[in-house]
A and B are shown apart, each in its own frame.
Chain A
Amino acid sequence: GQNIDQPTEMTATEGAIVQINCTYQTSGFNGLFWYQQHAGEAPTFLSYNVLDGLEEKGRFSSFLSRSKGYSYLLLKELQMKDSASYLCAVRDNYGQNFVFGPGTRLSVLP
């Protein structure tokens, strides 16, 4: 079966650091992706992990542990504009089926 879990909602303060977790169980694995989606808009790509470890990209970092079926997205120096939903997705087969999690709605407060 295909299952991706994320917390439904999180709240953090401007300037702080927040970690959004994602656990997955899929029949195949060829990469884990994080997308950002502002309300009423299309998802935009943030990061990609296919090997274990941390990928850093500016204020955003993403971590993957394939043996644990676990990833997290780390957002540093939070800004108000980071208030959005963050979607974890697994590419199940090579270049074909993407399975998205339900998304985590992050609210950044002043």
Chain B
Amino acid sequence: GAGVSQTPSNKVTEKGKYVELRCDPISGHTALYWYRQSLGQGPEFLIYFQGTGAADDSGLPNDRFFAVRPEGSVSTLKIQRTERGDSAVYLCASSLIGTSIEQFFGPGTRLTVL
């Protein structure tokens, strides 16, 4: 596709469940970022991949959050034992390389934990 895509667009789950959120970056983009955004706030950085490796995971809030990018393209954000406070829009962005000026954002996945 032409842009960054994320699936699902909406996810409703119960407290304590496990969820996976998927991001398909723009083809050829080596840098990939995950953010989460709460209502009325700016995006909060979670993790940055350069290729297959997590170059900076300092934004992951705790060990319930984990992300992978095994082939340097699609990435999956995994959240274990979800809590109500995890409810937010999870945004993925990609750029050609890590030093590129422009990041292209996907439409996001709205996660609701009941």
Binding site for B on A (CB under 8 A): 4, 31, 33, 41-45, 48, 87, 89, 93-103
Q: Contact string, B23-42, partner A, CB cutoff 8 A, digits 1/0?
A: 00000000101010000111
Min CB–CB distance A54 → chain B (angstroms): 17
Residue of chain B at shortest CB distance from A104: B42
Binding site for A on B (CB under 8 A): 31, 33, 35, 40-45, 48, 50, 55-56, 58-59, 91, 97-108
Min CB–CB distance A27 → chain B (angstroms): 11
Min CB–CB distance B87 → chain A (angstroms): 16
List 9 tightest A-B contacts by C-beta distance, closest first: A95-B98, A100-B42, A42-B105, A96-B56, A95-B99, A45-B102, A48-B101, A100-B43, A103-B42
Residue of chain B at shortest CB distance from A48: B101
Please name all residues of chain A whose beta carbon is closer than 8 Å to the beta carbon of B105 when the two chains form the complex.
42-44
Q: What is the bound-complex CA distance between A43 and B35, given in angstroms?
A: 11
The answer to whether A87 and B42 touch (CB under 8 A), given A42-B91, A43-B105, is yes
Please name all residues of chain A whose beta carbon is closer than 8 Å to the beta carbon of B106 when the two chains form the complex.
42
Q: What is the bound-complex CA distance between A94 and B99, given in angstroms?
A: 6
The contact sample of 10 A-B pairs, CB cut-off 8 A, is A4-B42, A33-B101, A44-B105, A87-B42, A95-B99, A96-B48, A97-B56, A99-B45, A100-B44, A102-B41
Q: What is the bound-complex CA distance between A31 and B95, given in angstroms?
A: 15
- Judging by beta carbons under 8 Å apart, are B43 and A95 in contact? no
- Judging by beta carbons under 8 Å apart, are A45 and B42 in contact? no
- Judging by beta carbons under 8 Å apart, are A98 and B33 in contact? yes
Partner of A42, one of B59, B101, B102, B107: B107
Q: What is the bound-complex CA distance between A44 and B108, given in angstroms?
A: 13
Q: What is the bound-complex CA distance between A89 and B31, given in angstroms?
A: 17
Please name all residues of chain B whose beta carbon is closer than 8 Å to the beta carbon of A4 when the two chains form the complex.
42
Q: What is the bound-complex CA distance between A31 and B103, given in angstroms?
A: 13
The answer to whether A95 and B97 touch (CB under 8 A), given A41-B107, A43-B105, A44-B105, is yes
- Judging by beta carbons under 8 Å apart, are B101 and A31 in contact? yes
15 A-B pairs besides A95-B55, A100-B35 with CB distance below 8 A are A31-B101, A42-B105, A42-B106, A43-B91, A44-B105, A45-B102, A87-B43, A94-B99, A95-B48, A95-B50, A97-B45, A97-B56, A98-B33, A98-B45, A102-B42
